């Protein structure tokens, strides 16, 4: 059982349990979601799925400013899966380090991106229903990575999703444990449809170990086999958590304490979910040879094509990658060996209707909360001396276009011009999500997901700041506009100079704030020199 060969159901019921059925019904209604609309849609939503009609507050063109994309064949691009596999006695599905990525953003085209709860659900259901494999699903934790009210909503949504997918065991990561213990206890203590909550840990305790808020290990049965699963938070990651209501134990001491109970259960397979560095995870595997599979955190963004071996141990060391882009499947075959498959969660898997409903409810709740309800701060721009300083106030791109006619004409042909529009035309809409609107409007800090004072608020109140406009790159324009109308020539020249942007400055300090690996992999792949000519504009007229 130690060797390995590498070959060439109702989400809304769960979320209603967590958040209250009346609240969810209200949110879905406010988002325009009906049972027929939500459950009748498979596949990810893109701007191409919605008629290109005029959106209030946004100028539009026939093609949306993006053009046609070449269709991508996910199997050809990312490879086939389960080649030459026999039906396993047990299929261990392993995920981890989702880090708050509930779904791919779609900025680069959903067909070009991996990940998402909706695809994962479809994949797991295919294993269970279509292939008939006995599945045990486990996750190594880190469902989220930020804290605050939006992080709480994300965590609740993630818990509902993994319960719908019938996960058997989930550990805690550092981001999860930055939420309050009271919130975590409420979100993780209840199961669904008679199943227990999947959360467990040998060495993490909410409000102390005597509270017994979560089990320290679990034994599940699948395919006529008994599988023992436990989890730990490694020493390095413990030091990153500042939460007085979360109590930790040393990983080795905690495992030594529970291993006699696990041994007494007489299990066929033993799994350790180690949210720890690969080095610490490997050492735990050597210390506790009972484990057949050790899942580790801290690996690369993309998991390896083959499982790693551990010197001095027969256990397999499994990395999951980051951001939920992959799942790992270990298949226990009749001969006692494990087959290994890295599964890219790409567009070969349709979005499940249940997860689409869940994502719609998530976006609806963000809309209901609003920026203030989510606890966002209205930032003072770094160019200003205070909230009333015009150097930090935004005027909108149309104002810029009154003088800079040539630059405005060029900008209006680019995807930047349609940035907010692209969110409005999604299903569900995303313009109420700080993590989306921060790069799809004017006047937000894109890496902080918070607005500047006088930045974009909504299409109703600040329609002039829709689109990714001039001031996101050149800086707020109010002081410049006032100086142009005034008689202080020195001030006018100084402000003109502050607004100028060279290609070198754009490449080093501006573009990458939004065009990063997550949201614009093509930009990262092809480079600034390929993209800059598409938006370059010179001169005033």
Question: Considering the domain boundaries, does residue 265 fall inside one?
Answer: yes
40-55 pLDDT, tens digit per residue, is: 333 333 333 333 334 5
181-204 pLDDT, tens digit per residue, is: 999 999 998 777 779 999 999 999
Angle at which helices 353-373 and 21-30 cross, to 10°? 90
Clarify whether residues 402 and 317 are in a common domain: no
Q: Which residues contact 422 (CB under 8 A, 6 or more apart)?
A: 47, 64, 66, 415, 440
Question: DSSP string of 397-457?
Answer: HHHHHTT-HHHHHHHTTSGGGGHHHHHHTSSS--TT-HHHHTTSBSSEETTTTEEBTTS--
H/E element holding 94? strand 90-95
Clarify whether residues 416 and 483 are in a common domain: yes
| pLDDT interval class at 58 (50, 70, 90) | low
Clarify whether residues 353 and 276 are in a common domain: yes
Report the distance separating Cα 34 and Cα 9, nearest Å. Answer: 18
Backbone angles phi, psi at 308, to 5 degrees: -90, 145
Clarify whether residues 110 and 172 are in a common domain: yes
361-370 pLDDT, tens digit per residue, is: 999 999 999 9
260-272 pLDDT, tens digit per residue, is: 999 999 999 999 9
Q: Which of 81-95, 284-298, 503-517 has the lowest mean pLDDT?
A: 503-517
Clarify whether residues 256 and 178 are in a common domain: yes
Question: DSSP string of 326-370?
Answer: EEEEEEE-TTSPEEEEEEE--TTSPPPHHHHHHHHHHHHHHHHHH
Over 60: is that where the pLDDT of 32 sits? no
245-256 pLDDT, tens digit per residue, is: 999 999 999 999
pTM of the full structure: 0.86
Clarify whether residues 98 and 236 are in a common domain: yes
Clarify whether residues 335 and 396 are in a common domain: no
Question: Considering the domain boundaries, does residue 267 fall inside one?
Answer: yes
Q: What angle do CA 86, 90, 94 make, to 5 degrees?
A: 105
318: CATH: 3.60.21.10
Beta bridge partners, 219, equal: 228
* Domain extent at residue 268: 4-42+73-359
Clarify whether residues 84 and 198 are in a common domain: yes
Please state, for a pLDDT cut of 70, what percent of the chain lies above it: 87
Clarify whether residues 416 and 322 are in a common domain: no
Domain boundary among 307, 326, 359: 359
**Which residue in 444, 464, 447 sits closest to 455, CA to CA?**
444
Higher confidence at residue 447 or residue 215?
A: 215
Cα-based distances in Å from 64 to 25, 47, 135, 414, 539: 32, 9, 43, 9, 26
Q: Are strands 326-332 and 338-344 parallel, antiparallel or unpaired?
A: antiparallel
**Number of structural domains in the chain:** 2
- Residue whose pair of structure tokens reads 């920026």 in the numeric block: 371
Q: Name the 3-class secondary structure at 274.
A: strand
**Which residue in 41, 8, 27, 42 sits closest to 349, CA to CA?**
42
Question: Considering the domain boundaries, does residue 372 fall inside one?
Answer: no
């Amino acid at each position: 059982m130690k060797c390995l060969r590498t070959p060439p159901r109702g989400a809304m019921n769960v979320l209603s349990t967590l958040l209250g059925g009346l609240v969810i019904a209200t949110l879905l209604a406010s988002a325009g979601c009906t049972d027929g609309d939500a459950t009748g849609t498979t596949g990810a939503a893109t701007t191409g799925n919605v008629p290109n009609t005029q959106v209030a507050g946004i100028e539009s063109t026939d093609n949306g400013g993006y053009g046609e994309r070449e269709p991508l064949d996910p199997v050809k691009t990312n490879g086939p899966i389960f080649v030459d596999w026999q039906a396993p006695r047990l299929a261990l599905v392993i995920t981890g380090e989702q880090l708050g990525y509930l779904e791919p953003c779609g900025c680069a085209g959903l067909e070009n991106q991996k990940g998402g709860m909706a695809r994962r659900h479809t994949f797991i259901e295919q294993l269970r229903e279509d292939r008939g494999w006995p599945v045990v699903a486990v996750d190594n934790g880190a469902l989220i990575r930020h804290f605050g009210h939006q992080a709480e909503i994300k965590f609740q949504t993630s818990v509902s999703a993994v319960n719908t997918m019938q996960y058997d065991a989930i550990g805690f990561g550092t981001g999860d444990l930055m939420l309050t213990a009271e919130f975590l206890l409420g979100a993780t203590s209840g199961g669904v449809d008679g199943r227990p909550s999947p959360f467990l840990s040998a060495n993490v305790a909410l409000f102390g170990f005597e509270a017994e808020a979560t089990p320290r290990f679990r034994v599940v049965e699948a395919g006529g086999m008994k599988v023992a699963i436990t989890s730990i938070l490694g020493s390095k990651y413990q030091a990153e958590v500042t939460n007085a209501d979360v109590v930790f134990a040393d990983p080795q001491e905690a495992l030594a304490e529970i291993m006699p109970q696990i041994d007494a259960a007489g299990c066929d397979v033993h799994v350790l979910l180690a949210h720890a560095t690969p080095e610490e995870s490997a050492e735990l595997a050597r210390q506790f040879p009972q484990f057949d599979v050790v899942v580790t955190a801290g690996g690369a963004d993309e998991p390896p094509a083959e499982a790693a071996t551990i010197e001095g141990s027969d256990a397999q060391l499994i990395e999951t990658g980051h951001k939920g882009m992959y799942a790992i499947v270990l298949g226990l075959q009749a001969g006692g060996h494990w087959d290994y498959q890295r599964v890219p969660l790409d567009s070969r898997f349709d979005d499940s209707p249940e997860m689409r409903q869940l994502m719609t409810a998530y976006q609806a709740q963000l809309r209901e909360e609003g920026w203030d309800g989510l606890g966002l701060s209205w930032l003072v721009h770094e160019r200003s001396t205070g909230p009333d300083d015009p150097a930090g106030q935004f005027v909108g791109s149309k104002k810029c276009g009154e003088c800079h006619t040539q630059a405005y004409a060029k900008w209006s042909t680019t995807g930047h011009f349609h940035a907010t529009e692209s969110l409005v035309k999604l299903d569900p809409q995303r313009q109420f999500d700080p993590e989306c609107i921060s790069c799809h409007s004017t006047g937000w800090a894109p890496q902080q997901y918070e607005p500047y004072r006088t930045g974009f608020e909504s299409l109703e109140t600040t329609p002039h700041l829709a689109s990714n406009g001039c001031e996101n790159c050149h800086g707020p324009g109010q002081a410049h506009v006032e100086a142009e109308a005034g008689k202080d020539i020195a001030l006018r020249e100084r402000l003109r100079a502050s607004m100028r942007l060279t290609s070198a400055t754009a490449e080093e300090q501006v573009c990458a704030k939004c065009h990063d690996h997550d949201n614009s992999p093509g930009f990262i792949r092809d480079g600034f020199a390929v993209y800059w000519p598409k938006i370059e504009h010179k001169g005033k007229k």
